[in-house]
Structures are given as structure tokens and as C-alpha cells.
Amino acid sequence: MTLNVEHLHIEYPERLLFEDLNLLVEPGTLIGIQTAVLDGATSLLKGIAGMLNNIDGRVNLFDSNVLTMSDDARAKQIGFVYEEHGLISLYNVFQNIALPLEFHTDLSPAKTRALIDETFADLQLSSSLLEAQPQDLNDVQTRMVNLARALVIEPKLLLIDELEGGMPDEKIDETMALLNHKKSQTDMIIMMTSSNEHVLREADRVLKIDNYQLIEINF
């Protein structure tokens, strides 16, 4: 019951990012990936999520290869929090968060609402935001709504690309405490890219990208 990345190779026409990368992550682990400019960390998360075409190797999540899963199977097991906006401007916040539940579960509207309310409460977000439009949110609210949308599906693997942008340190610490609680309660595996020490010091393991590989560092 692990995440096992085997012989991962990610390459673009103009640049090699990762070559023969291997990584084993136990359930209930939070991995921090220390980032630098243009180091390929976002591509790594997208590759592990099965979102890239220019990739070879295996990404075994609880004995199933993510790279050969159907889109529906991936969506039920993997939550992804994008660094960029990531929300659909035509929908309000509630509709954005409900999308993965509507497409990939058979939950009733009442159960969907209850699950979203519970997720918002866990994240200490005001329920009044549910009726807001994405363009009316500030940067911190946008990132937290993106996190809520990824968590509401109760994924086995949560991938977060630079969650902390614009967040004060107090909010970062609060969010990291919540994520550590979640993974300890559910065996969820969390991988986060970050250059922020408030994020990295809360991780169980910290890795950095070096010479097309991931190396473990003390932090």
C-alpha cells in the first residue's frame, strides 16, 4: 500500500527533466520537494499524476499503475492542487468544488453538500465563500478553494504545487497542521513542491531535484 515510482523518464523536445527516477513513499507520509526556478518540480507532480504524455516508467499507487489508469480512476484516487488559478470562472465556488463529486461519484446532492460543508469546516473557510465567483477571491482564498476541491474527493494521493503563494506564515502553519492530521487519519500520501521553510519543516521527508533525480536532504 505505497506510492512506488519506478524508472521515471520525463523529457521535452528541448530539455531532459528526469531520468531513471525511483521513489518509494509509505502511506501516511508527507513529502516536501524543495523547489528552485525551472527545476521541473511541477512537471514531476504532473507526471506522477498521469497528466503528461512525454513520460516513461511506472507510477504504482497501491499496486495500480497511474500511467495506464482511466481518467475516471485517476480522478477518484488523486487530488491535484495547481499553482495557477485552476478554477472555472463560469461556476461559483460551490460548483467548482462539486465538479469531481458530480463526475466521479454517485453521491446525492444532499450528500455532496454535506461533504463540501465538512471540507470547508476542516479548512476553516467561511461558508459564505461557496456562493462567490472565482474572480472575487483573493490569492489565499483561491488556493484554499483549490485545496478543498482536491480534498473533497478523499484522494489516496494528494499533489500540491506551491500551495503557500501569498499566504501569511500563520495560515501556512495552520494548513500544514490540517494536512498532517489528514494524512495521519487516512494514510493519504501527500507530495508538495515548495521553497518555503514553513512548509518544508512540517514534511516527513524533504527532497530536492538534482541531476535529473530526487535526493533526500536534511531540513
What pLDDT, in 10s, does the model give residues 150-178? Answer: 999 999 999 999 988 778 889 999 999 99
pLDDT for position 218: 87
Residue 166, pLDDT score:
79
Contact status, residue 34 vs residue 207, Cβ threshold 8 Å: yes
156 in Cβ contact with 69 (< 8 Å): no
Please give the CATH topology (third level) of the domain spanning 3-217. Answer: Rossmann fold (3.40.50)
- The whole-number pLDDT of residue 104 equals 93
d(CA 29, CA 216): 14
pLDDT, position 219: 76
Give the model's pLDDT for residue 141: 93
Rounded Cα–Cα distance for residues 173 and 167 (Å)? 10
Q: What is the structure's pLDDT at 27?
A: 96
**pLDDT the model gives residue 198:** 86
Q: Which residues of the chain have pLDDT under 50?
A: none
Beta-carbon contacts of residue 66 (< 8 Å; ≥ 6 apart): 48, 49, 50, 59, 60, 74, 77, 78
Residue 14's pLDDT is 86
pLDDT at 18: 95
Do residues 66 and 50 make contact, with C-beta atoms less than 8 angstroms apart? yes
How do 189-194 and 157-161 pair as beta strands?
Answer: parallel
Q: At what angle do helices 139-151 and 169-186 cross, to 10 degrees?
A: 0
Please give the Cα distance from 110 to 52 (Å, whole number): 35
Q: Check residue 31 and report its DSSP letter.
A: E
